[in-house]
Amino acid sequence: MTIAVCPGSFDPVTYGHIDIIKRAAKIFDKVIVAVLVNMEKKPWFTIEERTEFLRKVTEDIPNVEIVGFEGLLVDFASACNANAIVKGLRAVSDFEYEFQMALTNNKLNSNIETVFLTTSSENMYLSSSIVKQVGLLGGDISPFVPDCVKEGILERIKQRSSLK
Ligand SMILES: Nc1ncnc2c1ncn2[C@@H]1O[C@H](COP(=O)(O)OP(=O)(O)OP(=O)(O)O)[C@@H](O)[C@H]1O
Ligand SMILES: [Mg+2]
């Protein structure tokens, strides 16, 4: 059985992530979406909220599992018996960092390959940060995230503005 781990912060999940997860699920028997528990960047959504959004938006893909993780990615992947780490590549801007991570991970555990899937052209500009930024500025975020995620973002924006 082939197993892939798709890691990320997913704060929150966008159509860009969903596309990568769906495509990975066609290639591998099982895809484990690994949600980073402790992020350096201050997340808008808790690990439970980020995980719940991912569960909802992937419920129609049977071979996808969502789990939280902390610590070293290769250790997590190895504990899952994963063959590969799957990452999406958007633009040249992703490349240098991802290349460095892939080489480092390979040095730490050469049994786990990093596989890059090229972004779909319609998602190449999309990131969680840009969606939050557009939302904060009052733009329509429906083209970027599923409805349940959109509601969550709008709710969070309301809470933030009432705190000010
Ligand atoms: N639009 C996209 N197309 C392809 N891959 C993507 C896209 N958005 C995210 N990914 C991939 O998903 C994985 C997890 O990314 P991450 O959780 O950092 O999302 P992000 O959208 O970049 O969020 P942030 O803006 O907070 O950095 C990474 O491998 C990233 O390259
Ligand atoms: Mg990112």
Where exactly are the structural domains of the chain? 3-163
> Beta strands of the chain (E only): which ranges?
3-8, 30-36, 64-69, 84-89, 113-118
Q: Is 94 in the pocket of ligand 1 (CB under 6 A)?
A: yes
Q: What global pTM score does this model have?
A: 0.95
Per the CB < 8 A criterion, the answer to whether 37 and 76 are in contact is no
Which of 42, 44, 45, 90 is the pocket-test mutation for ligand 1 (most atoms within 8 Å of CB)? 90
Burial class (CB in 10 A: 0-12, 13-18, 19+), 162: exposed
For residue 68, the model assigns a pLDDT of: 96
Q: Is the CB of 11 under 6 A from ligand 1?
A: yes
In the block, tokens 């995230």 appear at 145
**Residue range 107-162, pLDDT digits in tens:** 999 999 999 999 999 999 999 999 999 999 999 999 999 999 999 999 999 998 88
- 164 — pLDDT class (breaks 50, 70, 90): low
Please give the distance, rounded to the nearest whole angstrom, from the Cα atom of residue 130 to the centre of ligand 2: 10
Q: With beta carbons less than 8 A apart as the criterion, state whether 116 and 87 touch.
A: yes
- Out of 30, 128, 132, 150, which one is annotated catalytic? 128
Query: What does the pLDDT look like over 35-55, one tens digit per residue?
Result: 999 777 789 999 999 999 999
Place of tokens 């799957």: 86
For residue 160, what pLDDT is reported? 83
What is the residue-averaged pLDDT of the chain?
95
Atom 5 of ligand 1 has which residue's CA nearest to it? 88
Residue 115, burial from CB neighbour count under 10 angstroms (0-12, 13-18, 19+): middle
Q: What is the model's pLDDT at position 93?
A: 79
41 assigned to active site: yes
Report the top-level CATH class of 3-163: alpha beta
